[in-house]
Amino acid sequence: EAQVTQNPRYLITVTGKKLTVTCSQNMNHEYMSWYRQDPGLGLRQIYYSMNVEVTDKGDVPEGYKVSRKEKRNFPLILESPSPNQTSLYFCASKARDRRLYEQYFGPGTRLTVT
Amino acid sequence: QKEVEQDPGPLSVPEGAIVSLNCTYSNSAFQYFMWYRQYSRKGPELLMYTYSSGNKEDGRFTAQVDKSSKYISLFIRDSQPSDSATYLCAMSERSGGGADGLTFGKGTHLIIQP
């Protein structure tokens, strides 16, 4: 089954404790991205990657890091999480020749930082 | 300025009613207009997309874009309880990936009462 998976699905952590949210896709997609979704603010892009070893900032990159060492994986790293990073996070992917709006979204990771 | 306005609802209607969901925007450079459906605890999934102005129909769903008014709509005919979800509008200037990502509305929570 073609899918984007994220782990963990739910995470409660404390301020300053480094964490990684993993994202993996099994569709051989070149393009992957991370979004956060907040009430009253909608979905906003954090980082995206056009291919392996190619990443770039989205609209709200502050406080996040990403890496793309393998085509299928695109982890999101919070080196020192803060309460304002409490949010619902989505990973998405698409094939290089598909249009931006044809992204497949993962099921989401709900992060709470206390 | 990338800004999209969407009433968050909730919008509650009886089964079988015609539903109208709307978004307004300020960026006249937007060319692609999308509607995503997001069920609880799931990622968004593309429902419909439209390029430039006009109407597009797909089964019970009709997407309408009025670029002169900077206004887009999604109509759902013969609404079903399974249509209960959050509907996100999204827009972009280009269809490809990169810095010009998708700009999402906040989403409208729709409830179809059986």
What is the mean pLDDT, run by run of 10 residues, along chain B of 114 residues? 84 97 95 95 93 92 96 97 97 70 92 97
pLDDT of residue B100: 52
**Measured between alpha carbons, how far is B46 from B71 in angstroms, rounded to an integer?**
19
**CA closest to A46 among chain B residues:** B101
φ/ψ of residue A84, rounded to 5: -75, 0
Q: Where are the beta strands (DSSP E) in A2-108?
A: 4-7, 10-13, 19-25, 31-38, 42-51, 54-57, 65-66, 76-78, 87-94, 104-105
pLDDT of residue B2: 55
**Measured between alpha carbons, how far is A5 from A100 in angstroms, rounded to an integer?**
19
**Measured between alpha carbons, how far is A68 from A22 in angstroms, rounded to an integer?**
11
Mutate to test the interface with A, among B40, B102, B108, B109 (most CBs of A within 10 A): B102
Tens digit of each residue's pLDDT (9 = 90 or more) over A52-94? 999 999 999 999 999 999 999 999 999 999 999 999 999 999 9
pLDDT of residue B3: 86
Amino acid code (one letter) for B65? V
Query: Do the beta carbons of residue B104 and residue B4 sit within 8 Å?
Result: yes
Amino acid code (one letter) for A35? Y
Q: A108 and B92: CB-CB below 8 Å?
A: no
Partners of residue B52 on adjacent β-strands: none
Confidence of residue A22 (pLDDT cuts 50, 70, 90): very high
Q: A58 and B101: CB-CB below 8 Å?
A: yes
pLDDT of residue A13 exceeding 60, the answer is yes
pLDDT of residue B99: 52
In chain B, residues 51-90 whose CB comes closer than 8 Å to chain A: 88, 90
Confidence of residue A41 (pLDDT cuts 50, 70, 90): confident
